[in-house]
């Protein structure tokens, strides 16, 4: 059985991605995974807090390079999307270059890039999403996704700035926000556009209730890791994106 070492670059106040990612990938029938995180200091999800956090990236990558991880996930979606169009491609390239300079051939992905990858794999064009962010940051996420070619039909911002509090948002509040969306003609729902806002336990129930594919930053990240490491996508209980192998778009 194949074993994959997953490196995670996470905000220091994030606890959810290190809970949900192992929970999802531990269900894989053909591989085992270990998770190795390096943290960037960040307490408040604000433009200033995100910029200060991103400035710590190189140290985190250096630490994870020492661990010899097979794949590295830059696990803060809004930190890249708030920086402007195409930022996930730029940062993934810089991280890969830094790792290669140190002699590592680690594969590099990001939560921001993984979400776009997952939406494209589902063939989604018209989407809706729930975010925990302040409205000003949520608007940047919407613009980023629109620049990637998606039509954001409707969205909600829960206006939570404290990142510890984001990790404690109850599922009922997330589902109520999703129920308030206009899902007419929508191809997919992003129930949590944030790896810190818990959502894994909501995805299957939301798919049944809304009758369309539902994904999150966490399930998209898991999908991207599986694709990067040439593993089949075959995980139950985490939505359509991970339930069966989805062909890679041409």
Judging by beta carbons within 10 Å of its beta carbon (0-12, 13-18, 19+), is residue 180 exposed, middle or buried? exposed
Contact call for residues 29 and 70 (beta carbons, < 8 A): no
Quick one: DSSP state of residue 177? Answer: H
Q: What is the CA radius of gyration of the chain?
A: 17
Q: Is 74 annotated as a binding residue?
A: no
Greatest extent of the chain over all pairs of C-alpha atoms, in Å: 50
The residue to which tokens 């943290």 are assigned: 39
- The Cα–Cα gap between 122 and 216 comes to 13
Which entry of 53, 190, 194, 203 is annotated as an active-site residue? Answer: 194
- The Cα–Cα gap between 248 and 204 comes to 22
Q: Is 76 annotated as a binding residue?
A: yes
Output the CA angle 77-154-132, nearest 5 degrees: 40
Element (H, E) at 216: strand 214-216
Q: Which residues, 6 or more positions from 28, have their beta carbon under 8 angstroms from its beta carbon?
A: 226, 231, 234, 235
Q: Which residues, 6 or more positions from 230, have their beta carbon under 8 angstroms from its beta carbon?
A: none
Q: Is 163 annotated as a binding residue?
A: yes
- The answer to whether residue 60 is catalytic is no
Positive/negative CA dihedral, 164, 54, 159, 171: negative
Q: Is 174 annotated as a binding residue?
A: no
Q: Is 89 annotated as a binding residue?
A: no
Which entry of 45, 73, 76, 166 is annotated as an active-site residue? Answer: 76
Residues in binding site for substrate: 14, 76-78, 133, 163, 195-196
Residues placed in the known binding site: 14, 76-78, 133, 163, 195-196
- Which positions are catalytic? 76, 194
């Amino acid at each position: 059985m194949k074993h994959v070492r997953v490196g995670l670059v996470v905000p220091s106040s994030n606890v959810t991605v290190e809970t949900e990612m192992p929970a999802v990938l531990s269900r894989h029938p053909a591989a085992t995974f270990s998770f190795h995180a390096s943290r960037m200091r960040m307490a408040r999800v604000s433009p200033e807090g995100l910029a200060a956090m991103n400035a710590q990236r190189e140290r985190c990558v250096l630490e994870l390079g020492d661990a010899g991880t097979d794949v590295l996930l830059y696990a803060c979606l809004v930190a890249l999307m708030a920086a402007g169009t195409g930022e996930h491609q730029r940062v993934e390239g810089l991280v890969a270059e830094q790792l290669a300079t140190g002699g590592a051939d680690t594969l590099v992905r990001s939560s921001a890039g993984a979400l776009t990858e997952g939406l494209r794999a589902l063939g989604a064009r018209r989407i809706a999403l729930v975010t925990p962010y302040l409205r000003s940051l949520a608007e940047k996420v919407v613009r980023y996704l629109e620049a990637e070619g998606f039509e954001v039909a409707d969205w909600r911002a829960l206006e939570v700035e404290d990142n510890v509090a984001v990790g404690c948002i109850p599922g009922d509040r997330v589902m109520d926000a999703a129920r308030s969306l206009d899902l007419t003609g929508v191809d997919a729902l992003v129930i949590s556009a944030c790896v810190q806002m818990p959502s894994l336990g909501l995805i299957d129930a939301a798919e049944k209730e809304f009758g369309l594919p539902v994904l999150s930053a966490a399930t998209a990240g898991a999908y991207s890791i599986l694709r990067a490491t040439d593993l089949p996508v075959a995980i139950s209980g985490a939505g359509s994106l991970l339930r069966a192998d989805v062909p890679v778009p041409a």
